Amino acid sequence: MNSALQIWHPFTNGALDPAPLLVRKAEGVYLYTADERKIIDAISSWWVNLHGHANPRIAAAIAEQAKKLEHVILAGFSHEAAEELAARLTKWLPKDLTHMFFSDDGSTAVEVALKMAVQYFQNLSRPEKTEIVALAHGYHGDTAGAMSVSDESPFTQPFDSMRYAVHRVNSAYCYRCPVGLQRESCHIECVDQLEHLLEDRGEQIATVILEPLLQGAGGMIVHPVEFLQRVRALCTKHDVLLIVDEVLTGFGRTGKMFACDLANVVPDLMCVSKGITGGFMTMGVTLCTDRVEAAFRSDNRLHTFYHGHSYTGNALACAAANANLQIFDDEPVFDRIATIAKVNAERLAQLREMHQVGDARQIGTMGAIELLADDAGYLSALRPKLYGFFLERGVLLRPLGNVVYVLPPYVIQPDELHRVYDVMVEAVETLL
């Protein structure tokens, strides 16, 4: 293509990375490129796609909505698609989450949650409660606040001066246990650090934010449910708000609609995005309890939550989200999810036995292997080699350094998922 203006692609180094592939169309799990390739999208295009590309039901819903109302300012106005979405989400959420606040994507859903948590205590005349706790290996997005609560990584390194201080506590990374124990015999001692911190500084701490049960970009780290349950109990004890970032885990990825459901945990605030529109439109939502929202309802104008984005509650995105949830109602989505989980379990059992594989982890539709590497981490030299190897064989997988994971759209068929795993096995045998 001959264009004066060049696209600067995300997470891409113009000097080191291959030129982007031009995608002409996509259908189901396949991407079709201009150079005649057919590629399985085994990572749901950064974890957003649920029911396949170009899903006709979602496409039709957006087209219908566009003819009626494309967008309206959400301050002082509402619209039917947004009201319908609120009603539809109610069915899936813990009943204690009673309010939803729209934003644009995962990062802004996180920014909103953090700001709500901090202002909540200001509004309650507890201005000393401002500090934030986040986990090692956490990832919450690329805007400045979301980047501050994300753990230090090559993504954040140049921006140290822009990141505000947070308390960083252990994650339940069992393969590399931060307190040197074995999962089979431990009692989740990794959480003791948070317990001590809250005992010491609970009066100053406003919130703990974490990715529930599955830390994604930090390396597809799966936590025991007891970890999340213990964190919930500690937050309650110390009057600290718990924010769960379900941007990745929401909408079925872990086997339940939300990861919190697996642990029977109800957070004070929850962030969702990615799968909410089935992967069609960008949208973020921050949910909270009555108790949180009530602190902003006041005869003092300064207690207002002064935050909003131009495209907040966009009607086309709401229409896509409604169609997505209708598919959950009408189609055997959780059977599809269970089938993926079964294939993941079978194939990870095989991969776990390979001497090049240090760990194999799974939660629901996510299956990952951590490869043994001297340079473990996002910048591992294995990453570009693996990426190219997969792509040459018609599979889109984007390893996180030496961690290779599968997170497919739910419509993937078992033979297609086996094909993805076959290519993974071949890569491990060939490249390591």
Ligand X SMILES: Cc1ncc(COP(=O)(O)O)c(C=O)c1O
Site residues (vs ligand X, CB under 6 A):
105-107, 110, 139-141, 211, 216-217, 245, 247-248, 273
Query: Which residue's CB comes closest to ligand X?
Result: 106
Kindly state the smallest distance separating residue 230's Cβ from ligand X, in Å: 20
Kindly state the smallest distance separating residue 216's Cβ from ligand X, in Å: 4
Q: What's the token pair of residue 283?
A: 């949208």
Ramachandran class of 377: left when φ > 0, alpha when ψ lies in -120 to 50, beta otherwise:
left
Give the H or E element holding residue 389: helix 382-392
Kindly state the smallest distance separating residue 215's Cβ from ligand X, in Å: 8
Q: What's the token pair of residue 205?
A: 């701490």
Kindly state the smallest distance separating residue 305's Cβ from ligand X, in Å: 20
| Residue placing its CB nearer to ligand X in the complex, 121 or 405 | 405
Any alpha helices (H) in 180-278, and if so which ranges?
192-201, 225-237, 259-263
Residues whose CB is less than 8 angstroms from the CB of residue 370 and which lie 6 or more positions away in sequence, other chains included: 175, 219, 357, 358, 359, 360, 361, 376, 402, 403
Closest-CA residue to 337 (of 134, 66, 74, 50): 50
Ramachandran class of 320: left when φ > 0, alpha when ψ lies in -120 to 50, beta otherwise:
alpha
**CA–CA separation, 61 and 78 (whole Å):** 19
Closest-CA residue to 241 (of 201, 202, 280): 202
**CA–CA separation, 124 and 121 (whole Å):** 5
Q: What's the token pair of residue 112?
A: 């909103």
| Residue placing its CB nearer to ligand X in the complex, 223 or 347 | 223
**CA–CA separation, 276 and 294 (whole Å):** 26
Kindly state the smallest distance separating residue 8's Cβ from ligand X, in Å: 16
Kindly state the smallest distance separating residue 211's Cβ from ligand X, in Å: 5
| Residue placing its CB nearer to ligand X in the complex, 248 or 337 | 248
Burial of residue 111 (CB within 10 Å: 0-12, 13-18, 19+) is buried
Closest-CA residue to 416 (of 88, 161, 39): 39
| Residue placing its CB nearer to ligand X in the complex, 140 or 336 | 140
Kindly state the smallest distance separating residue 326's Cβ from ligand X, in Å: 23
| Residue placing its CB nearer to ligand X in the complex, 247 or 423 | 247
| Residue placing its CB nearer to ligand X in the complex, 188 or 210 | 210
Determine the angle formed by the axes of helices 333-352 and 414-431, rounding to 10 degrees: 20
Q: What number of residues does the chain have?
A: 432
| Residue placing its CB nearer to ligand X in the complex, 395 or 400 | 400
Give the H or E element holding residue 340: helix 333-352
| Residue placing its CB nearer to ligand X in the complex, 101 or 389 | 101
Kindly state the smallest distance separating residue 331's Cβ from ligand X, in Å: 25
